[in-house]
Structure 1
């Protein structure tokens, strides 16, 4: 795993004359913190200083290093023929927010941080929603964090547009799988038209109310959308990807006050899933 990740990490410190601490030790410290759901100050002494690990984590969050590494390991997998573009599944999951994630008062605008900090209030309390697209091997292709009350369908295009896998040679990054699998929450005319314009097959079941509305209109209701029940059996790859991410206790319940920090931790977990041989 480390052999796949190390070549894509920064080799120089941004500070003049400075040196990075060992990348592997710092990444292991960050992974341990989110894997166990522990506070930063509880990092074991064997993993180095918690201040150094947090500073590196925050710096690479703001400059986009975590996302760049995820994109690079995805490109390596695509070049090696490990990435299957036949099927991509989309889904979302709600994550409960711990009380430590609340109470942040915006003193000044923060870079890349949404105004609501990715927190929404519902009957169950504060929640965050994770939207993702997964490949056929249950690995995340893209990750989007929103407030917990956000709907699935409005985030569909954002999730799909976030899929960008660079090619090793010339050419634009690959973005389009051959088929997209989604549950009934993604059944809308806008989503089906968006996929049709890009030549992507949609395997999305139609809810009962949409079926009844089409039948009530008679001949004006048009034909029912195509649906392949055999291909739809693979939709569980998105749920299995979510299960893998939620094996990290720091991701199964959000304790980060900033949404960019929580998404960076999700990206790190995705990197390790892609780097796993």
Structure 2
């Protein structure tokens, strides 16, 4: 990716679809100038990318979108979350700061040093985090204007065994974990997800990861914006930690995601 290439992409869906499939953590790309400030290199960096990347989730979202009669929109991060994590708060409200994994990570999944302790996050926030947040906010606003509502479905994955950075890794780790928000996840959306993913194994809520992503402009304010996080346990569709996907399993999960999109669209 060239230094001037966009770090994210909004892939259009049907004009009258309210759904945005948000894929924030699927990429491994790190620009050369950003890589220069990362203290890992070679195999150590590749192994960290294996652990931290939600591998193949962009493919799952793409296959789901193709299977939908009314195609959802897709907002896809094209850079690794080791550049910035667009779903973190950039300030003290983010509990992941406690383990060095706020908007700009300073620690790895195994709590080793990733960036120098005195690293200034502002250039990365200004170059990548804030433009991403503005673009995602606009994407949601556009769905609201076009359809009267917006449904953000966050597509993630997580490892079979907890990693040291996880703050809540001692609970259940079902094949599918749903993250919700008391304001933005209506019972009908949660029920539709349970039904859609019923064929993918046990479907849990809030463990090992909870919450969901809503742009701050709408968070807690706009009930017409609904949101759900879908976390897929990686052994259900790929070789861990960063290996190949199993085509039949990807197809099964993508079909379930497409069923969820269809249900909430209807």
TM over 0.5: no
Structure in which a larger fraction of residues adopt helix = 1
